[in-house]
Amino acid sequence: MVLVLVIGDMHIPYRSSKIPPKFKKLLVPGKIQHILCTGNLCLRETHDYLKSISSDVHVVRGDFDLNTNYPEQKVLTVGQFKIGLIHGHQVVPWGDSDAIAAVRRQLDVDVMVSGHTHKLEAYEKDGNFYINPGSVTGAYSPLDKNPIPAFILMDIQSSTLVTYVYSLPPNGEMEVKKIEFKKGEKSED
Amino acid sequence: RINLRMDVDQSRYLDAAKDAVKREAFNMQRSLDKGLLMDGLRHATEMLNELRTSILTPKNYYELYMMVTMELTHLNMYMSAEFIKENKIADLYELVQHAGNILPRLYLLITVGVVYIRSEECSRKDILQDLVEMCRGVQHPLRGLFLRNFLLTSTRDVLPDFDTKTAEEGSIDDSINFILLNFSEMNKLWVRMQHQGHTRDRSKREQERLELKLLVGTNLERLSRLEGVTVERYEKQILPAVLKQLVNCKDSIAQEYLMDCIIQVFPDEFHLRTLENTFLDTCCQPQSQVNVRNIIISIIGRLSNFAQADPANIPNEIKLFDIFSIKVTQIIQSRSEMPSEDIIALQSALMKLALNVYPTEVGYVNQVLQNTLIIFQNEESRANGCSGELSKLLRVPIDHYQDILIVLHLSAYPKLLRFLELCTRKELCMYIAEHIIETDTLIYSHDQVDQLLTLVECLVADCAEKPVSNIEDPDDFDCQQALVGRLVHQMTSQVPDQQFLILNTCKKHLVVGGNRRIRFTLPSLIFKAVSLCQTYHEVHEEDDKWEKKVTKILQYITSLLSALIKAEYWELSLRLYLQAALVCDAMGVSNAEAMGYEFISHAFAIYEEEVCDSKAQLMAISLIIATFEKTTNFCEENHEPLRSQCFRASSKLLKKPDQCRAVSLCAHLYWSGKNKEEGGNQLQNSTKVLECLKKAVRISNQCMEPTVQVQLFIELLNKYVYFLGNGCEEVSESVLSQLVGKIKEDLPGLESGDITRQIVNHFGTTLGFLEHHHELLF
């Protein structure tokens, strides 16, 4: 069992004051093997916080990550899954699934992780898996009227990927949804 | 007797004395077993002689004393057994008065006296009086203290209490007088120790005195255990006598310890009754070296706990807070030498009293702060060096109320804050800010926002301070300002008009923060303003002035952006202009549209004039294109120039690959871009899309590097695939096949390596996609 935290678009301090305490309580150090951060932290403090949760933290550059050296994109392998990571402001049109599929093709990954839209998504398309952890702080987005604070936890066991989608809707009660994805034969897309 | 304490080996001496005691005790016991009383008494006397020493330290004397007095209990038991039978106690009492030295004589007298009292053949009162008076014969402090302690402990069970019946037995008053006399004599002896010997040994002497303090305090404890001691007796007899002794002795060790003793051993009801007139008045008098601070804090703490245990414990007429508040002020005023930490410690105790016992009286808390403030205002030097303590005091209301809005009501708070040293002040302000964020407190009125930002003014702007002692660490400064930026989000009202007032108040305070600060603080305001526009838009049917209000907000945003521009934050401002443009577009009204056009123009201006690095240029133009693609409400008159501008700027990038990529992005503007004329539909201008992509292909043909060229071709191929998939008719099979052919031609010629592998792979997945989704085989 390998736990991968997928999280991003915190936008602290410009659009949000803090990560929701209910989330922080769950993000206990030592339990998570890898962290994939879609970017737009925007403070080094936030990066340090992620490093306190897990020693293996991958961050890609968001449009508001100024004065940083984060790469535009990243590819890594966990278990049998090749995972791609990009913030998403580079992908035009924003939020377009065909456009993000093109990035997936370029990186040739099984799982494509992107952010920027603050829209929580986890769907399968043509045999590949697309994940958007939304904004963990529910920060303002011009593309979404009322973003909900969210993050995603992936549990990878050889060829099975189980995603746990955590969100905090306005009524304050945390919701968790489970979606399973099996890496079948690599279908031609 | 020469005081040879310093030179003699204490433990050797003590061991020798203990051996002697053991020996004589053994002999005493043996004699008593044989019924030989006189022999027994003689051995007892020998034993007691060991207590005549001047050489032992108090600790060692105590050890010897314990040993001896334990042996004396055997004597006591013997006498009780033998002599009560034969009614000869009176004789015995007479007999022991003939012992040689006074110390053994008195120990024996006390021992016999207690037996005598128990026999009930005498006047209890007279014997007790006798004993307590006769002890005056020993004036040596150490020996006298232990002797009188022996008196007190021996008579523990025979002191008359409230239930004694006859005059001869004595009354509770007799016991009180007995103990009071014993107490004052012991205190005199104790105080006398202070003045014995050389001044250089003073601290050692004081240490020894402290080791003996319990001996004196036990008198008070014994008094408190008398059942018959009512609050009247305490008020009229005991307390005045004890306080008189304390005041007259003029000794600070005695005063401090014994006042604390009084507080601890007597019940809270007694303290309440005597608080104002007797107890606290005396506190004001003692010598100025007395640590009156600890005494006051002790009594406040005790009565506080008493009140909290049950509010009914405090009678309504006793206004605890007022009483203490006035007295503390008097004490502080009368002692100009009182150190600042002590002043603050006293205020802190008062504050805790107010918070714990009178939780609804916020005014009390403010009064404490006000009183402290007055002290510092009258004499500024008193504020020096106590920043740490003052800071702790100021944290108490925050931690207690947990709601910063209450703290904002304390009018003296911000003024007192200014007396902290700058770095401590900043720390406290950060504490306040963090507290607000952690507890998710919302500051929902512009007046409160104004108060809060005034309170933390040292964070939001430079202070006209005397020279700063150290240069601030830049990372720390940035953390501080990020905190302020975060704090902004807690200043929020659900009522839009109020929210606008809040934003204006924030701007007033934050815009003067200087360049290093505004980078962290103004963007937060801009995003809140942008959010507010959306809010007004959502409820526009309920508010016919909404357009005007949105215009004002957009002007507000403009002014903040001007400040950031002036401070030369180019990249940040560019992005913020784009965000502002999006919200303008969402408003869907013409004056907002005009401002949106302005904003994008500003973004272009920054891009053209200030973004110099080629990588940054590509990022910036891509961002402009991507943002513009999302707008929907520009009329064609505005939309067209912006489209063209995007295209022109893309074509003018320095590096060919960058040009290629940026131009290919422009294709999207002609396809999924929207304007007012299309009324919510996409432009879907196939011709223009193809023009862009063909231009991009032409540019990549001009790339010199083969690997880069092929990479670009494949990316463009994917762009074609995208538009094909979205229904762009002009993306024909022949267009695709031309490009595919070119790629296939060039691929083999590439140098082998990782990048080539990736490119080949990318081509493969693209072809696969075409086959699978469009049934096009190449």
ipTM of the complex: 0.95
Query: pLDDT tens across B293-351, in order?
Result: 888 899 999 999 999 998 888 888 888 999 999 989 988 888 878 888 899 999 999 99
d(CA B506, CA B525): 8
- List of chain A residues whose C-beta atoms are within 8 Å of the C-beta of residue B437: 17-18
Question: Scanning every residue of chain B, which has its alpha carbon at the shortest distance from the alpha carbon of A102?
Answer: B718
- List of chain A residues whose C-beta atoms are within 8 Å of the C-beta of residue B582: 142
d(CA A62, CA A11): 10
pLDDT for res B411: 93
The stretches of B726-775 forming alpha helices (DSSP H) are: 733-746, 754-774
Is residue B464's pLDDT more than 60? Answer: yes
Is residue B614's pLDDT more than 70? Answer: yes
- Lookup: tokens for B110: 């006390």
Instruction: Count Cβ–Cβ pairs < 8 Å, chain A vs chain B.
Output: 100
Q: Which amino acid is at B546?
A: W
- Lookup: tokens for A25: 């309580």
pLDDT for res B177: 93
Q: Which helix (H) or strand (E) holds A131?
A: strand A128-133
Q: How far is A175 from chain B (nearest CA, A)?
A: 21
- List of chain A residues whose C-beta atoms are within 8 Å of the C-beta of residue B725: 98
Average pLDDT, chain B: 91
d(CA B270, CA B231): 6
CB contact under 8 A, A94 and B771: no
Query: pLDDT tens across A88-141, in order?
Result: 999 999 999 999 999 999 999 999 999 999 999 999 999 999 999 999 999 999
d(CA B223, CA B155): 12
Residue B754: count other Cβ atoms within 10 Å of its Cβ. 7
Is residue B289's pLDDT more than 70? Answer: no
Is the bond into A13 cis (omega within 30 degrees of 0)? yes
Q: Give the predicted TM-score (pTM) of the model.
A: 0.85
pLDDT for res A49: 97
CB contact under 8 A, B629 and A98: no
Which of A18, A43, A98 is closest, CB to CB, to B725?
A98
Q: How far is B762 from chain A (nearest CA, A)?
A: 5
Residue B84: count other Cβ atoms within 10 Å of its Cβ. 16
The stretches of B266-361 forming alpha helices (DSSP H) are: 268-274, 280-284, 292-309, 320-334, 340-357
pLDDT for res B465: 65
Question: Scanning every residue of chain A, which has its alpha carbon at the shortest distance from the alpha carbon of B533?
Answer: A142
pLDDT-derived band at B281 (thresholds 50, 70, 90) equals confident
CB contact under 8 A, B489 and A63: no
Q: How far is A72 from chain B (nearest CA, A)?
A: 10
Query: pLDDT tens across B84-133, in order?
Result: 666 677 778 888 887 789 999 999 999 999 988 887 777 888 899 999 99
Is residue B267's pLDDT more than 50? Answer: yes
Is residue B176's pLDDT more than 90? Answer: yes
Which of A43, A102, A142 is closest, CB to CB, to B482?
A43
Please give the span between the terminal C-alpha atoms of chain A, in angstroms, as a whole number: 29
Q: How far is B420 from chain A (nearest CA, A)?
A: 27
CB contact under 8 A, A140 and B490: no
pLDDT-derived band at B165 (thresholds 50, 70, 90) equals low
Contacts 24+ apart (CB under 8 A), B247-250: B247/B282, B247/B285, B247/B286, B249/B187, B249/B188, B249/B191, B250/B287
Q: Does A16 touch chain B (CB under 8 A)?
A: yes
CB contact under 8 A, B725 and A94: no
Contact B488, B517 (CB under 8 A): no
As a whole number, mean pLDDT of residues B600-628 equals 96
Q: Does A25 touch chain B (CB under 8 A)?
A: no
Bigger pLDDT: B12 or B596?
B596
A173: three-class secondary structure by DSSP: coil
pLDDT for res A189: 40
d(CA B75, CA B69): 10
pLDDT for res A4: 97
pLDDT for res A188: 42
Query: pLDDT tens across B683-701, in order?
Result: 999 999 999 999 999 999 9
Contacts 24+ apart (CB under 8 A), B42-48: B44/B71, B44/B72, B44/B75, B44/B104, B44/B108, B45/B99, B45/B100, B45/B101, B45/B104, B45/B108, B46/B20, B47/B20, B47/B21, B47/B71, B48/B103, B48/B104, B48/B107, B48/B108
Please report how many Cα atoms fall inside a 13 Å half-sphere around the Cα of residue B192, on the Cβ side: 13
pLDDT-derived band at B234 (thresholds 50, 70, 90) equals very high
Which of A17, A92, A108 is closest, CB to CB, to B626?
A92
Window 54-113 of A: residues touching B by CB (8 A cutoff) are 63-64, 66, 89-90, 92-94, 96, 98-99, 102, 105-106, 108
Contact A12, A44 (CB under 8 A): no
As a whole number, mean pLDDT of residues B375-393 equals 87
Question: Scanning every residue of chain B, which has its alpha carbon at the shortest distance from the alpha carbon of A13?
Answer: B486
d(CA A186, CA B535): 46
Percent of all residues in chain A with a pLDDT value above 70, rounded to a whole number:
97
Q: How far is B450 from chain A (nearest CA, A)?
A: 19
- List of chain B residues whose C-beta atoms are within 8 Å of the C-beta of residue A188: 768-769, 771-772
Q: How far is B725 from chain A (nearest CA, A)?
A: 8
Question: Scanning every residue of chain B, which has its alpha carbon at the shortest distance from the alpha carbon of A44?
Answer: B479
- List of chain B residues whose C-beta atoms are within 8 Å of the C-beta of residue A145: 534, 538
As a whole number, mean pLDDT of residues B262-277 equals 90
As a whole number, mean pLDDT of residues A39-51 equals 95
pLDDT-derived band at A185 (thresholds 50, 70, 90) equals very low
Which of A45, A90, A93 is closest, CB to CB, to B482?
A45
Question: Scanning every residue of chain A, which has its alpha carbon at the shortest distance from the alpha carbon of B490?
Answer: A17
Is residue B426's pLDDT more than 60? Answer: yes
CB contact under 8 A, B772 and A126: yes
- List of chain A residues whose C-beta atoms are within 8 Å of the C-beta of residue B672: 93, 96
pLDDT for res B618: 96
Which of A17, A143, A189 is closest, CB to CB, to B769?
A189
CB contact under 8 A, B626 and A108: no
- List of chain A residues whose C-beta atoms are within 8 Å of the C-beta of residue B586: 142
d(CA B547, CA A142): 19
pLDDT for res A184: 65
CB contact under 8 A, B766 and A16: no
Q: Which amino acid is at B715?
A: E
Q: A132: phi > 0 → left, psi -120 to 50 → alpha, else beta; which?
A: beta
